[in-house]
Structure 1
Amino acid sequence: MSTTLALALTGLALLDSTSFGTLLIPIWLLLTPGRVRTGRIAIYLATVAAFYFCVGVLLVLGAGAALEAVREAFADVPPTHLRIAQLVAGVAVIAWSYRLEARARSRAGEPGRLQRWRTAAMTAPEGEGVGGRGVRGLMSLALVATTLEVATMVPYLAAVGLIANADVTWQVTGGALAGYCVVMILPAVLLGAVRIAAHDRAEPVLRRINDWFTRNSAKAVGWTVGGIGIGMALNAAITLLAEPG
């Protein structure tokens, strides 16, 4: 593998490391007051890396042909109809975000279900957790987060394309994918190390941040969902207006 390719993959992996599943959720887990369960964080990050690796292997093996089949299935549908469907879906997502925010206001100040689940999963003794499934819950969270991000894996898709077109052996391909996944979770690992090393000094700050998240995380979910809906609707509307005739 050339140095240029290695540097390109490293840059894409670092860009991927800032996503919701690879950085924001780990930070949220690290904000749990009390002793950090490094094993639990490791399980989450390992699940994320393994999922990305498996997706990369499938793409290299030709799973992209399945996506092409989907595109062909919709080839006869007029683009205008698809954009109208996207616009309707975007408006529906915006409406849903208002419902989420209204529910958040009605429960202002209460620890939400996610906060209670996080505390149980991250602080319960080994083998316990939410219904005795703390570790499995963390793995499920990792799989859900990464599955939702599949459609937006632009850096990873670009990296897989570079690897696939590099004309390298399967051993090098597997090593490149594995290395990409390691670099991708590296910032979260480093943040975890800082959290452990500065435990006493960081604890008061983390408690204040955690309290803020407890009060506002549900609202943030509504804002995030609304932003996604606005993006979908605007993209569809702009495309429809730009189409000739």
Structure 2
Amino acid sequence: MGTDILIYLGGLALLDTLSPTIIGVTLYLILSDNKNLITRLSTYLITVMILYFSLGIIGILGLDYIIEAFSSAFQNKSVLFNMGLILFVVSFFIPTNKKNNILKPKTQGIFSIIVIGIVTFLIEAGTALPYFVAIGILSTINLPFYNKLLIIAAYNFIMILPGLLILLGYKICGSRINSKLIKIQNKISASTNSVLSWVVCIAGVILMLYSKDGSTITIK
């Protein structure tokens, strides 16, 4: 696997760090000022990561017709370019003024946090275009399965990294940054669709650039 493909996969992973749901729940848990912040937030992020990791495995090892569909699409550079162009155009038609309500656990228990993690996955998985593109690329690359697992795990770790960085910043600075976190929370709540529009747009651009790459892909 060439460095160029790693760059594409890394770019897609960075796009998935823009998840407004993950960041929104992270901010809510921090600002709710509970005593078990690390345990609750770690449980939430690990739940999301495990579910996305499982989705990645299913995408690579799942039903044959899914793999074949990914392989044929990602082997054909013209199809790739057209897919990217469609995503790029569609991104301009996504409304950007819809306000989003942040997911909030109903209780302080760990089970409630796990449920929120599952709900996050169900909400985000349907629009996780960068992740599906990354799975499609991985499904066409001739790599040992354990290497693909490592790549998927690294991708998902990058995806939840903003939550960990926000927690680290809060632990270092404490309540002094509460006002800034509240501003970020309000901005995320009011601009969820705007973020989705940018993610779809950039994912389309990455696909178009990937389609113009001169590198070849070996189907396993």
TM interval, shorter chain, is: 0.5 to 0.7
Q: CA deviation at 1:115?
A: 5.9
The answer as to 2:120 corresponding to 1:145 is yes
Contact 1:49/1:185 (<8 A) preserved: yes
Deviations 1:175-219 (A, max 9, x none): 11111001111111111100111104224x269x39x96xxx9xx
Partner of 2:38: 38
User: Structure 1's 17 and 63: CA in aligned 2 closer, same or farther, altered over 3 A?
Assistant: farther
Partner of 2:21: 21
Choose which of 162, 172, 188 in structure 1 pairs with 2:147: 172
Contact 1:53/1:181 (<8 A) preserved: yes
Contact 1:30/1:36 (<8 A) preserved: no
Q: CA deviation at 1:27?
A: 2.1
Query: Structure 2: how far apart are the matches of 1:192 and 1:156?
Result: 24
Deviations 1:146-201 (A, max 9, x none): 11222211000000011111111101111111110011111111111001111042
Partner of 1:243: none
Q: How does 1:10-159 map to 2 (within 5 A)?
A: 10-33=10-33, 37-63=37-63, 65=65, 117=106, 120-121=107-108, 134-159=109-134
How many residue pairs were aligned? 165
Contact 2:45/2:117 (<8 A) preserved: yes
Contact 2:28/2:104 (<8 A) preserved: no
| Secondary structure of the structure 2 residue equivalent to 1:198 | helix
Aligned residue type for 1:15: L
Q: Which one has a larger percent helix, Structure 1 or Structure 2?
A: 1
The answer as to 2:165 corresponding to 1:190 is yes
Query: Structure 1: how far apart are the matches of 2:124 and 2:138?
Result: 20
Contact 1:21/1:142 (<8 A) preserved: no
User: Structure 1's 67 and 172: CA in aligned 2 closer, same or farther, altered over 3 A?
Assistant: closer
Query: Structure 2: how far apart are the matches of 1:171 and 1:199?
Result: 40
Which runs of 5 or more structure 1 residues have no equivalent in the other structure?
A: 69-96, 98-103, 105-113, 122-133, 229-245
User: Structure 1's 202 and 174: CA in aligned 2 closer, same or farther, altered over 3 A?
Assistant: same
Partner of 2:8: 8
Q: CA deviation at 1:62?
A: 2.8
Which runs of 5 or more structure 2 residues have no equivalent in the other structure?
A: 69-97, 197-220
TM-score (norm 1): 0.56
Aligned residue type for 1:191: I
TM-score (norm 2): 0.62
Overall identity of the aligned pairs, in %: 26
Query: Structure 2: how far apart are the matches of 1:136 and 1:116?
Result: 9
Aligned residue type for 1:136: F
Contact 1:22/1:184 (<8 A) preserved: no
Structure with larger Rg: 1
| Secondary structure of the structure 2 residue equivalent to 1:18 | coil
Deviations 1:118-164 (A, max 9, x none): xx52xxxxxxxxxxxx1011111011111122221100000001111
Query: Structure 2: how far apart are the matches of 1:21 and 1:63?
Result: 29
